[in-house]
Amino acid sequence: MLIVSLFAFPVMAQQLPEWQSQYAIGLNKLAPHTYVWPYGSAAEVKSGHYEQSPYYHSLNGPWKFHWVKNPDNRPKEFYKPTFYTGGWADINVPGNWERQGYGTAIYVNETYEFDDKLFNFKKNPPLVPHKENEVGSYRRTFTVPASWKDRRVVLCCEGVISFYYVWVNGIFIGYNQGSKTAAEWDITDKLQEGDNTIALEVYRWSAGAYLECQDMWRLSGIERDVYLYSTPKQYIADYKVTSALDKKAYKEGIFGLDVTVEGPSTGVSTIAYTLQDTAGKTVWQDAVQVKSRGLSNLITFTEKTIPNVKAWSAEHPNLYTLLLELKDATGKVTEVTGTEIGFRTSEIKEGRFCINGVPVLVKGTNRHEHSQLGRTVSKELMEEDIKLMKQHNINTVRNAHYPTHPYWYQLCNRYGLYVIDEANIESHGMGYGPASLAKDSTWLPAHMDRTQRMYERSKNHPAIVIWSLGNEAGNGINFERTYDWMKSVEKSRPVQYERAEENYNTDIYCRMYRSVDEIKAYVAKKDIYRPFILCEYVHAMGNSVGGLKEYWDVFEREPMAQGGCVWDWVDQSFREIDANGKWYWTYGGDYGPKDVPSFGNFCCNGLVSADRIPHPHLLEVKKVYQNIKSTLIDPKNLTIRVKNWFDFSDLNEYILHWNVTTDEGVVCAQGTKEISCAPHATADVVLGAIKCASAGREAFLNISWTRKEATPFIATNWEVAYDQFVLPGSKKATAYQRERRATKTTRAVDKTTFAVDKTTGALNSLCINGQELLASPIVLSLFRPATDNDNRDRNGARLWRQAGLGQLTQKLVTLKERKTSATALVELRNGKDQKVGEATFTYTLQRDGALNVQTAFAPDTAVVKSLARLGLTFEMNETYSDVTYLGRGAHETHADRKQSGKIAIYKSTPERMFHYYVTPQATGNRTDVRWMKMTNEAGIGCQFESNKPFQFSALPFSDAVLERAKHINELETEGKITVHLDAEQAGVGTATCGPGVLPQYRVAVGEQRFEFTLYPLN
């Protein structure tokens, strides 16, 4: 059946081209339906490799391509087979044309990129620029397989942005608007033997662009697969599966099936189905005659109850295979299709979001489609995405902000991810007020088309547990009607829409970037009937995801607060090479003229980099999201209480590994245990009293969990969860004794010398046997190279810069020197020569050759309103690049993002500790450090300790270079290592979107004292 989505135009609109109308959502397209790829045999259906079917023919690959900046200059008759394209370039399909040398990639967030003086245009829906509207003309030839003779042939374009016309063999087929769901045309009667020609005329902007204002690169062209598939004349046009569980015991499977058969038949045909389990055993089968010889037949099979089905969940993605066979009057199979299905329920039950009757916590992330090709993502990259998500305890993905490539759903079905599928609707640039397109009923057909196509294509996927009506498009009549439609066809899954807030047209309260206090306030209400699940939270831009633990303390305590989805999964950045051959990541504003619309590096907010290398904060997500959590309830007769946060898995699927390790790195006890603990239950595990012979000051109980049997992506040696507890050691042990035993270093006062600068009061020399250890004086440090979050936090970099904390100088007021000590009182002045405070440094050379530095700092609170850090900074020559420390590692941690760091002894280098965020910023920090040392190859160097755990970083770039650089190719080394020893440093928060650094993780502005002891090592 064809669907003609061309509604009656106002008279004026009829004078404009279709791409300037909100009504022109498609012409001659097939009605939306589930994927009905024809397979060569029943055995092929289970694999899902539809591309290998003899009735599938890909049109991906090189196409002839012509690009113009203005529609008036396009080759208007290029679609004719006689038109000569020999002089045209080739372009790869799929792939956005901006990533292949044409036009300009533009990144903006909330606005329309064409609503800008660069394009001489102001937004005026449905109109878009004409003169500046780029057009890409695509053409290629193809040959239809001989085996397709006398069969029906369908052309499918999975995704083309933003609007396009289609011709086959010079015959106009139709057009489409809406870039993220398939558009199909029956081209059977347009084909010929031998070579055929297909042509697409693609417009960068159209009326549809007003509904595609997502936070992403604005790109153009054919970005998903183009292909043909062939069916018999009578064919399976659509089917809808019901595969739920009974809502009493959630043990029995409820199976229902509706099939639409279309096309003429010369006799009485039969539609049959077979349901098979994972072993290939037939669970149920049935057949019904297609009695009508009309063009469309809806067959509803009798609903079946299947006892003791294996339910589908993200933890146990049990799948069944549904085979559909169409047979002619003789019983011959004429068509085979089908899919994998899963039995599960998804519902709001007693105000809570439940899978299979069990309230679940959404441990989610959002995911844009992004690769170096643009919006085109290979199967291999999708597989890498899901592998990383599964390995890092993510159980939910929100398809932000549009339906994705069909292979992604197959992966989520097979490997177990809950999916929030979202309609390709975002009109952010129109705001949420009266101008919102949500309130303009002339846009209802476009809203409804995008919603229906999302639903129909993906309705049979068990992984989809929630539908989303769109994103950041205001609320109004159009979303009320799409909600009403979804609820009329969807009986088994909730429907959400963030901008509905607490209006009727959302089943989930799914606000974004709400604070912990706001979540608490919502769940404290007495009349709520919807769970709070944040569709976006903890904006992972740059050095971020601070305060995640505080969110999950609430989610694990409050029944109706059920988690959220981190923004975002992958940095939307592109790798380029500069004129000097240095590579770097790009972001908004890096392409096109100087005044190109841009929202800068706001597109770089992933848990992983664009090439899928995890950022440090992904490890924090893994740790906080982990499903096995322990607390130490008896530190003497070591006993832990284990909480099983899995929803459907007993802990007998896992092995507990434990050890007690001293602060010298000596393992004094270890073992493994297997326990049974039902989902959501707790169990106490007694490890017993442990006595360490080593005289360390501390010991650490490490708890680690691995799978007993491997599952896809999770090997038996992959750590799925871990906890660590600090145990008291020998009170007599000292860090000096520990280090001396480890390094056999001799220390003596006469081998250590120090000097204090007479104008700044700074320590400007520290020597061991006459060898200088410092490359710059040790001075007070209150600033850090601003992170993306710091630049947005109201308590962050703006206040630090106002106070001039990044340009501090020290002015000596008094200096008292003795034989082995010195006390310097200094004024701290900023770049404007304002006094920002006073500090007193007391330097004391100890008998063992160590230099103790005590600092008292008193800020001028009229100038200083916030501090990035409180500590010391200096430089050492790059020869001292062997870094060893006892603290949290092995990756970067911060005060509000350190749950994932294990305290242990680590060895590293400044280069390895530096993390290359897309925009350079503060990085490399380590927390809860007991001691740190930096040495050269000969073991000469310095060890640093404090009277309490401290933080440090040792990086190959100076603070000034990091603060100045906008891309990583601008980073220059100067042969020195910049060292920070911090008594306190502010957390990183998530202020680029959402809360800033929480009060408990800020540095107090007031009089403070701290000390460090420096041990020169010989």
Active site residues: 472, 536
Residues 6+ apart with CB under 8 A from 859: 836, 837, 867, 1005, 1006, 1007
Instruction: Return the structure tokens found at 233.
Output: 């004349």
Please say whether the beta carbons of 708 and 616 come within 8 A. Answer: no
The dihedrals phi and psi of 927, each to the nearest 5 degrees, come to -115, 165
User: Can you tell me the distance from the alpha carbon of 173 to that of 30, in angstroms, rounded to the nearest whole number?
Assistant: 12
User: Can you tell me the distance from the alpha carbon of 129 to that of 861, in angstroms, rounded to the nearest whole number?
Assistant: 53
Least Cα distance to 19 among 146, 163, 157 occurs for 163
Instruction: Return the structure tokens found at 220.
Output: 């153009």
User: Can you tell me the distance from the alpha carbon of 894 to that of 907, in angstroms, rounded to the nearest whole number?
Assistant: 19
Please name the helix (run of DSSP H) or strand (run of DSSP E) that holds residue 457, with its range, or none: helix 444-458
210: three-class secondary structure by DSSP: helix
Least Cα distance to 237 among 417, 70, 3 occurs for 3
Please name the helix (run of DSSP H) or strand (run of DSSP E) that holds residue 409, with its range, or none: helix 406-415
The dihedrals phi and psi of 296, each to the nearest 5 degrees, come to -140, 130
Please name the helix (run of DSSP H) or strand (run of DSSP E) that holds residue 701, with its range, or none: strand 698-707
Q: Report the 10 Å Cβ neighbour count for 866.
A: 22
Least Cα distance to 881 among 954, 803, 810, 827 occurs for 954
Least Cα distance to 157 among 223, 246, 70 occurs for 223
Instruction: Return the structure tokens found at 764.
Output: 């400007």
User: Can you tell me the distance from the alpha carbon of 337 to that of 45, in angstroms, rounded to the nearest whole number?
Assistant: 7
Q: Report the 10 Å Cβ neighbour count for 974.
A: 14
Query: What size, in residues, is the chain?
Result: 1018
Please say whether the beta carbons of 302 and 332 come within 8 A. Answer: no
Beta bridge partners of 707: 654
Instruction: Return the structure tokens found at 246.
Output: 């009974």
Tokens 């019983």 found at: 331
Please say whether the beta carbons of 196 and 144 come within 8 A. Answer: yes
The terminus-to-terminus CA distance of the chain in angstroms comes to 85
Cα three-residue angle 309-310-313, rounded to 5 degrees: 130
Tokens 């740190």 found at: 932
β strands within 708-807, DSSP E? 721-728, 752-756, 763-768, 771-772, 779-781
Phi-psi region of 545 (alpha: psi -120 to 50; beta: other; left: phi over 0): left
Instruction: Return the structure tokens found at 730.
Output: 């020998």
3-class secondary structure per residue, 553-617: HHHCCCCCEEEEEECCCECCCEEEECCCCCEEEECCCCCCCCCCCCCHHHHCCCCECCCCCECHH
Please say whether the beta carbons of 460 and 426 come within 8 A. Answer: no
Of the CA atoms within 13 Å of residue 877, those in its CB half-sphere come to 10
The dihedrals phi and psi of 802, each to the nearest 5 degrees, come to -60, -40
Helices (H), 838-945: 910-913
Beta bridge partners of 778: 763
Please say whether the beta carbons of 438 and 478 come within 8 A. Answer: yes
Instruction: Return the structure tokens found at 234.
Output: 């009578």
